[in-house]
A and B are shown apart, each in its own frame.
Chain A
Amino acid sequence: MSSFQPRPTRPAEPVALDDRARDNIRFIRETMERAASFTAVPGWGGIAMGITAAGAAMIASQQSSPYGWLVTWICEACVAVAIAVWTTYTKARQAGGAILSGPGRRFVYSFAPPLFVGVLITLLLARIGFVGAAAGVWLLLYGTAVVTGGAFSIRLVPLMGLCFMVLGAVALFCPWSWGNAFLGAGFGGLHIIFGAVIARKYGG
């Protein structure tokens, strides 16, 4: 039985069908990704947030008291939220208006809880006078928010979240005095880098 073949060569017709089926599924997935990414957070907003965060890092580094430092970053957070809301709204309106409904709502729902926890932990740290630890906590929780919020978006978004989480985790185990630099690198650097890629590749 030397001619026995353990694995039969596949017949021509089903292989073609098989390939076509695979190709169709890939096509559907890619179209969905593109259609969903079309509605995601605008890249230019990310760049703008990164620039303001870099500015905030410089201002915050010159503050003498930890509370001045904290207030600077809280102001920056408000500015960043305003930029995010405004740019998302503009992009949605340019695209036709109804964008904020489906993926947008899902994004907000999964984005908000980690940020809310972040606010509470910041209050706690301020209460026990341990503001130095805030940098790592913010980066970690913002990263978590981006990962969960971006789970339905293009892969780049959760990847950015992961970078934030890694940075936050490292920051927790470094001297507190480095916290400001970590914040600058995260909210400044990562936002600008990922924002630029998103703006270039995914339509603004």
Chain B
Amino acid sequence: MAAKQEAFRLAREEKPKRGAATARPVKAAAADLDRVIHERTRLAIISALAVNDSLAFSELKQLLRVTDGNLSVHARKLEDAGYVGCTKSFSGRVPKTEYRLLPAGRRALEKYLDHMEALIHATREG
């Protein structure tokens, strides 16, 4: 009996898209997920900035081993989301771009971490 019920439950969970009610946990998880920082490069930018007051464009590039174009596109997305602040200045004649994490960005990272922990927890109990 127990095994049969278990098998039934598993079958339902394997196809989360079918029944709206049973699919909720997974679906909700996907919906709540912060797409802005879920992407790897952006997650790395946020993580690196979380342990530094600010990092220059060149430092981030070196640290994350990404191309200029890649970094600026992703940094721009984080700026647009209000997660990262950016100040441009000149040191001598060389333009310098400094990034720092804004409070909203820190909250987003914390929420993301909570979310990941909740996922691990949920599957461990399930």
Contacts and interface: CB of A to CB of B under 8 A. Distances in A.
A24 B29 CA distance: 15
A4 B5 CA distance: 11
B68 to A, nearest CB: 15
Interface stretch (A52-60, A81-89, A95-103, A113-121): A95-103
Contact of A35 (B3, B29, B55, B115): B55
Nearest to B15: A13
B117 A98 contact: no
A9 B49 CA distance: 40
Interface stretch (B40-48, B69-77, B78-86): B40-48
B96 A96 contact: yes
A13 B119 CA distance: 12
Interface residues of B, number: 43
Given A13-B13, A35-B47, A102-B52, A96 B98 contact: yes
Scoring A10, A32, A34 by chain B CB atoms within 10 A of each residue's CB, the highest score goes to A32
Contact of B26 (A17, A21, A96): A17
Contacts of B123: 10, 14-15, 17-18
A10 B13 CA distance: 10
Contact of B51 (A1, A22, A25, A36): A36
A25 B52 contact: no
A97 B56 contact: yes
Interface string B47-66: 11111111110110001100
- 6 closest A-B pairs by CB: A96-B56, A35-B48, A18-B123, A102-B53, A31-B47, A101-B53
Interface of B: 1-3, 6, 9-10, 13-14, 16, 26, 29, 40, 43-44, 47-56, 58-59, 63-64, 91, 96, 98, 109, 112-113, 115-117, 119-120, 122-124, 126
